[in-house]
Amino acid sequence: MIQQLNEQLVSMGQVLLALDTGVGLLVAVGFSMSMSHLFSLLANRLTPRQIFFHMVVDALVLSLALLLCLICHCLMLALMEGVPLHPIAFGNRMAVALWPGLFYVLVAAPYVSDLIAVTLLAWMHLNMLVLINAMYGIPFLHALFVCLPGYVIALLLVGALFSQRWRSSYDTLAKEVALQIQR
């Protein structure tokens, strides 16, 4: 059974290698993640210009968080496995592993948003492990240790941005609702 799972993961890695889409996917994932809190921006009755500004800034910051994750993977590969890499070529090749992040917009769903977010981030991490195995032949256990610091960094940065953004958006909304109730 473990051998069959290993073969399926290797097969998945070959498919990901064939999808080499580049860093453009990184920005698309950032926008998808940014879109997940569109409801809170609309609920605060921001103007379209303000919403657009928030979305662009959030998308760029989230893309930067994911880029830092890729750079961390690159450094860990160089340090732990001795793989000589060029960060730009590595990022361009590894960005395809982030494709599940295109569904991050679904995190806006009530009640199940945390589950969706963690599932999508874990799926992206699994794709990274599989892709590192496919590209460099590094065993999955070693790839786990190579990818773990970058995954934790991305998780903390994404969590910090969303926590701050969601909290401020909903605090503003709560203040407006309280004012409406007092009238």
Q: Is residue 88 within 8 Å of residue 75, measured between CB atoms?
A: no
Query: What is the average pLDDT value for the chain, to the nearest integer?
Result: 78
CA max distance for the chain: 67
Structure tokens at 45: 């009755």
Backbone φ, ψ for residue 20 (5° rounding): -35, 95
Give the percent of the chain with pLDDT over 90.
0
Which pLDDT band, with edges at 50, 70 and 90, does 169 fall under?
Answer: low
Q: Is residue 149 within 8 Å of residue 72, measured between CB atoms?
A: yes
* Contacting residues for 132 by C-beta, under 8 A, at least 6 apart: 73, 77, 94, 138, 143, 146, 147
Total tally of structural domains belonging to the chain? 1
Neighbours of 167 (CB within 10 A): 11
Domain that holds residue 177: 2-182
Which pLDDT band, with edges at 50, 70 and 90, does 17 fall under?
Answer: low
Give me the pLDDT at residue 174, please.
Answer: 65
**What dihedral angle (degrees, nearest 10) is formed by the CA atoms of 22, 27, 28, 33?**
140
DSSP 22: -
Give me the pLDDT at residue 173, please.
Answer: 63
Q: Is the dihedral of CA 105, 109, 112, 114 positive or negative?
A: positive
Rg over alpha carbons for the chain, rounded to the nearest Å, is: 19
Which pLDDT band, with edges at 50, 70 and 90, does 14 fall under?
Answer: low
Is pTM beyond 0.95? Reply is no
More confident residue, 172 or 17: 172
Which pLDDT band, with edges at 50, 70 and 90, does 157 fall under?
Answer: confident
Give me the pLDDT at residue 41, please.
Answer: 76
* Contacting residues for 95 by C-beta, under 8 A, at least 6 apart: 21, 22, 23, 24, 25, 26, 70
* Contacting residues for 125 by C-beta, under 8 A, at least 6 apart: 147, 151
CA-based nearest residue to 108, from 18, 38, 182, 180: 38
pLDDT above 70 (res 78): yes
